[in-house]
């Protein structure tokens, strides 16, 4: 199969492209990415010269480009999105355009070219917050931020295309990921890189917000299983049922790096900050047999080591070097 992957230069997308090409030697990928501030071709350097991987710089909201790429491919796995909650609070417009309009353009292209599969990568954040128990796939969506509301909107569009047009679509809703190549605006890479630079670690509010952290390769494997064996029209939650407070994560990072707890600085809270995310992965476990294979302790340590070994990678991002470079090469304004 020739698969159109969107957002494959981002954090999860780049890990997925590598995982998928290694696992499926007779398949190939067309990787469409706009290279926004979050996309980075350095995440894909090991794929240079791989004839089964073709990178296409472009925007998912461009219907002409999507018509052309959908004609060449058999299926879509859709990661591309604006993904940072804080940015969505400050500047929501790009979230509406990319996450909703972009998904619509992809759905239309996939429908026109009679694709065999459309896998939409969504998030547990669409369910909103709950203090106890886990959300199942049947729960109503009560998103809190413009980011999660835009993802929930795209989920509903995807479901409607399955119901109305019989598009062979599926949706996954995963919990928070961590691992190599995550942009250092998200909690874990921000805290690791700040600690390495002896900068303060900004913890929002009391730091007792809970997230269910999943190592990115466990997520990639779950996506692969849903893509190949999932039931058309279905939604699959993905998570590890191991919620941790933000303070627990930050303290683990400081302990591992041998840095003082005095680097922690409690700062102003995020508006509409969801207290706890928790999804039940019972369906994907019982139907597809997927299980997470990494423990948070060992995979977080592995991740911290990766950021210690890749100071150049995040140093260039933090200095804005990539942004300037892509603006020059692709004429995109980020
Ligand atoms: P990311 O921000 O690291 O990467 C997003 C990628 O999409 C970037 O490469 C960016 O250049 C690209 N992109 C953005 N707008 C585009 C556009 N208009 N056209 C083409 N490409 C565009 O994001 P991520 O953390 O890798 O998340 C990937 C997907 O997984 C998203 O859909 C997100 O909602 C979902 N998700 C993320 C997490 C998480 O913890 N990171 C958890 C669950 C689900
Ligand atoms: P984040 O990585 O932005 O993911 P999300 O908001 O999508 O879950 O944030 C994870 C948690 O960490 C969330 O509760 C907000 C908190 N946080 C901080 O306390 N400080 C920070 O600097 C950031 C980026 C996040």
Do 83 and 206 fall within a single domain? no
Q: CA-CA distances (angstroms) from residue 292 to 17, 195, 284, 286?
A: 19, 28, 11, 13
CA distance 57 to 164: 31
Q: Is the CB of 61 under 6 A from ligand 1?
A: yes
Do 52 and 197 fall within a single domain? no
Q: Is the CB of 59 under 6 A from ligand 1?
A: yes
Do the domain assignments include residue 329? no
From the CA of 11, the nearest ligand is 1
What is this structure's pTM?
0.97
Residue 186 near residue 246 (C-beta atoms within 8 A): no
Looking at residue 154, which CATH number applies to its domain?
A: 3.40.50.720
From the CA of 182, the nearest ligand is 1
Structural domain of residue 314, as residue ranges?
178-211+242-277+294-324
Do 272 and 156 fall within a single domain? no
CA distance 192 to 184: 9
Do the domain assignments include residue 288? no
pLDDT at 330: 58
Looking at residue 248, which CATH number applies to its domain?
A: 3.90.25.10
pLDDT at 332: 52
Residue 179 near residue 215 (C-beta atoms within 8 A): yes
How many domains would you assign to the chain? 2
CA distance 122 to 152: 8
What is the signed CA dihedral for 147, 171, 283, 134, rounded to 10 degrees?
Answer: 10
From first CA to last CA, the distance across the chain in angstroms is: 33
C-alpha 99 – ligand 2 centre gap (Å): 20
Atom of ligand 1 nearest to the CA of 125: 43
Point out the residues that are catalytic: 124-125, 147
Do 163 and 189 fall within a single domain? no
pLDDT at 319: 86
3-state helix, strand, coil in the chain (%, to 5): 45, 15, 35
Residue 277 near residue 129 (C-beta atoms within 8 A): yes
Do 76 and 197 fall within a single domain? no
Q: Digits of tens for pLDDT over the chain (334 positions)?
A: 999 999 999 999 999 999 999 999 999 999 999 999 999 999 999 999 999 999 999 999 999 999 999 999 999 999 999 999 999 999 999 999 999 999 999 999 999 999 999 999 999 999 999 999 999 999 999 999 999 999 999 999 999 999 999 999 999 999 999 999 999 999 999 999 999 999 999 999 999 999 999 999 999 999 999 999 999 999 999 999 989 999 999 999 999 999 999 999 999 999 999 999 999 999 999 999 999 999 999 999 999 999 999 999 999 999 877 666 666 665 555 5
Ligand 2 contacts (CB < 6 A) are 85, 125, 176, 186-187, 190, 202-204, 209, 211, 246, 270
From the CA of 275, the nearest ligand is 2
pLDDT at 326: 60
Do 127 and 190 fall within a single domain? no
Atom of ligand 2 nearest to the CA of 205: 19
Atom of ligand 2 nearest to the CA of 83: 7
Do 83 and 195 fall within a single domain? no
């Amino acid at each position: 199969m020739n698969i159109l992957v969107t957002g494959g230069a981002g954090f999860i997308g780049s890990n997925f492209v590598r995982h998928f090409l290694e696992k499926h030697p007779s398949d190939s990928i067309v990787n469409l990415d706009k290279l926004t501030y979050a996309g980075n071709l350095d995440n894909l350097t090991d794929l240079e010269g791989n004839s089964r991987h073709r990178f296409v710089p472009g925007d998912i909201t461009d219907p002409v480009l999507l018509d052309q790429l959908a004609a060449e491919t058999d299926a879509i796995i859709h990661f591309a999105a604006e993904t940072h909650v804080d940015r969505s609070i400050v500047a929501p417009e790009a979230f509406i355009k990319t996450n909703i309009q972009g998904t619509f353009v992809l759905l239309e292209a996939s429908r026109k070219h009679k694709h065999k599969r459309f896998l939409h990568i969504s998030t547990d954040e669409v369910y909103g917050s709950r203090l106890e128990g886990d959300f199942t796939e049947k729960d109503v969506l009560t998103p809190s931020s413009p980011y999660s509301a835009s993802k929930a909107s795209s989920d509903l569009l995807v479901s409607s295309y399955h119901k109305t047009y019989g598009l062979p679509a599926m949706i996954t809703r995963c919990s928070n990921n961590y691992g190599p190549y995550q942009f250092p605006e998200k909690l874990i890479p921000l805290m690791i890189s700040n600690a390495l630079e002896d900068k303060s670690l900004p913890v929002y509010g009391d730091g007792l917000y809970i997230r269910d952290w999943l190592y990115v390769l466990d997520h990639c494997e779950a996506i692969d299983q849903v893509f190949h064996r999932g039931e058309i029209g279905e939604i699959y939650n993905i998570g590890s049922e191991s919620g941790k407070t933000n303070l627990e994560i930050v303290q683990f990072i400081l302990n591992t790096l041998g840095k003082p707890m005095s680097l922690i600085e409690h700062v102003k809270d995020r508006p509409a900050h969801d207290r706890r995310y928790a999804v039940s992965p019972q369906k994907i476990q019982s139907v597809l047999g997927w299980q997470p294979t990494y423990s948070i302790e060992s995979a977080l340590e592995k991740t911290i080591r990766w950021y210690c070994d890749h100071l150049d990678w995040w140093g260039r991002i933090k200095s804005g070097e990539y942004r300037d470079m892509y603006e020059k090469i692709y004429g995109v304004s980020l």
